[in-house]
Amino acid sequence: MRLSLASLGILAMTTVAIPADLPAPDKLPSVAEFPDVLATRDGTKITTKKDWEERRRPELKELFQHYMYGRFPAKPTKVTAKVLFEDTKAFDGKGTLREVEITFGPPEWPKIYLLIAVPNGKAPAACFVGPNFHGNHALTAHDKVRIPTEWVPASGPNVVKNKATAEGRGKQADTWPLQQVVESGYAVATFYCGDIQPDRDGVPEGMRKTMPVYKNVPLDETATVMWWAWGCHRAVDFLVTDKSIDAKRLAVVGHSRLGKTALLAGAFDDRFAVVIPHQSGCGGAGPSRSKNPKAEPVKRITTSFPHWFCANFTAFGDDTTKIPFDQHALVAICAPRPVLCTNAEEDQWANPAGQFDVLTAAAPAYKLYGDTKPVAAKMPETGKLSDERLGYFIRTGKHSMTPDDWKVYTQFADKWLK
Ligand code: GTR
């Protein structure tokens, strides 16, 4: 079966044109170290903010689409929202909790269910925005919160045959500690990533269903991490209309595969004033040209999770020297907005030291905006936040997202969003 694009409504969206002259991955030149973020493909050195914004940044966005995440889908023509419930006395009366259904395409397209927690009396509040792993209901015991009907990973709490159940309510409340964040004066808006694209390969579901999934799939077809990032942008489409949220003070946050998503979402949408990829690793803020033998290699990630990236990225295989950028360039696209990479010592798979190298190599783009010291001279000691514009934090412990991690995000936001 070949899905008809017109019947699925794909013609309602336009995508950014990719220049025809981009070579196949194996035809690109080998570059052993991080490619110069300020040098264009034709070798021109960028020295001004204007040339960065008009030449190099758009070029990098095209390269990331074509060779890594797939095409960045355009904004849908219509985004509408319906409040499903609102509790103005949530969190011991300190906040308001509501869930909003966001519809952003033809009726058969997926919808986003955005769970929003806002501190009472603080409107308009700065807001952390991001996708979650297993459903909004897992983040709070509140019985009005919707239970996802989409496929969910079996690893989720009380998931039965890949379906979420009411028994899972509140079981992952520590990963997005809504009350703690609300009490620190910030709002939170989160949605189940599977609303947009369930995290499995090959099945025509979610936003993938709107693309040609069976035949003639372009090598740069929109991949799952890009769809998740696009979902974050749709959440923002609603949030900027919400009077309780300060549209100028949005921070995008995500953990691990959703940390990769947070960085990509921040790079491709400057409505995010702060970008926080947590333990994002390979495909996020971790370098593809990794020097850490314990870190996840590109070949491994594209084999284990082929749907996260487009086929062109898989084609690099072991030879990451042919990738015409490294992840420092994705961070650089965010300039001058603050980016905080947070990590854990025992999570070498996510390459904590490599992420600091990535921040350091992104600094020249930030310097174009007049920040003479956008990044610390060396990796900060464990447990100490380095709160430069290119911020960094590493704690003891493992791969997880905890209430203590959220204290670091709010500390960073206190500096950059106040
Ligand atoms: C791992 C994967 C990582 C990271 C992680 C996660 O299996 O290798 O890149 O994304 O999953 O999302 O928890």
Please say if the pLDDT value at position 152 is more than 90: yes
C-beta 278 within 6 A of ligand 1 = no
Which of ligand 1's atoms lies nearest the C-alpha of 296?
8
State whether residue 100 is helix, strand or coil: strand
Please say if the pLDDT value at position 108 is more than 90: no
pLDDT value of position 91: 98
Which of ligand 1's atoms lies nearest the C-alpha of 260?
10
Average pLDDT over residues 104-113: 91
Distance CA 222, CA 307 (A): 9
C-beta 246 within 6 A of ligand 1 = no
C-beta 257 within 6 A of ligand 1 = yes
C-beta 296 within 6 A of ligand 1 = yes
Among 257, 282, 299, which residue has the most ligand 1 atoms within 8 Å of its CB, making it the best to mutate?
257
Task: Tell me the CA–centroid distance for residue 308 and ligand 1, in Å.
Answer: 11
Which residue in 186, 177, 178, 183 sits closest to 126, CA to CA? 186
Write down the catalytic residue from 233, 255, 256, 386: 256
Strands (E) in 31-90, as ranges, are 80-90
Average pLDDT over residues 19-31: 90
Task: Tell me the CA–centroid distance for residue 92 and ligand 1, in Å.
Answer: 35
Q: What is the CATH number of the domain that holds 241?
A: 3.40.50.1820
In a domain, 98, yes or no: yes
In a domain, 23, yes or no: no
pTM of the model: 0.96
Handedness of CA 99, 102, 107, 109 (dihedral sign): negative
pLDDT value of position 244: 98
Instruction: Name residue 234's amino acid.
Output: R
In a domain, 22, yes or no: no
C-beta 233 within 6 A of ligand 1 = no
- Count Cβ atoms within 10 A of the Cβ of residue 241 and give its class: 0-12 exposed, 13-18 middle, 19 or more buried: exposed
In a domain, 247, yes or no: yes
pLDDT value of position 418: 86
Please say if the pLDDT value at position 54 is more than 80: yes
Residue 136 neighbours by CB distance under 10 Å: 24
Average pLDDT over residues 197-223: 88
Domain count of the chain?
1
C-beta 301 within 6 A of ligand 1 = yes
- 9 vs 316, which has greater pLDDT? 316
pLDDT value of position 248: 98
Asked if 400 and 259 touch (Cβ cutoff 8 Å), the reply is no
pLDDT value of position 213: 67
Computed over every residue of the chain, the mean pLDDT equals: 94
In a domain, 292, yes or no: yes
Q: How many residues does the chain have?
A: 418
In a domain, 328, yes or no: yes
pLDDT value of position 19: 59
Range of the domain at 197: 80-133+175-416
- Residue 81 φ/ψ region, left for φ over 0, alpha for ψ in the -120 to 50 degree band, beta for the rest: beta
Please say if the pLDDT value at position 3 is more than 60: no
pLDDT in tens, 233-276: 999 999 999 999 999 999 999 999 999 999 999 999 999 999 99
Which of ligand 1's atoms lies nearest the C-alpha of 133?
12
- Sequence-distant (6+) residues with CB within 8 A of 409 are 128, 251, 253, 276, 278, 340, 342
Among 68, 278, 305, which residue has the most ligand 1 atoms within 8 Å of its CB, making it the best to mutate?
305
Among 132, 290, 346, 349, which residue has the most ligand 1 atoms within 8 Å of its CB, making it the best to mutate?
349
- Count Cβ atoms within 10 A of the Cβ of residue 123 and give its class: 0-12 exposed, 13-18 middle, 19 or more buried: middle
Please indicate whether residue 256 is annotated as part of the active site: yes
Please indicate whether residue 328 is annotated as part of the active site: no
Distance CA 359, CA 230 (A): 24
In a domain, 11, yes or no: no
Residue found under tokens 């969206």: 13
State whether residue 377 is helix, strand or coil: coil
In a domain, 69, yes or no: no
C-beta 136 within 6 A of ligand 1 = no
State whether residue 350 is helix, strand or coil: helix
C-beta 199 within 6 A of ligand 1 = no
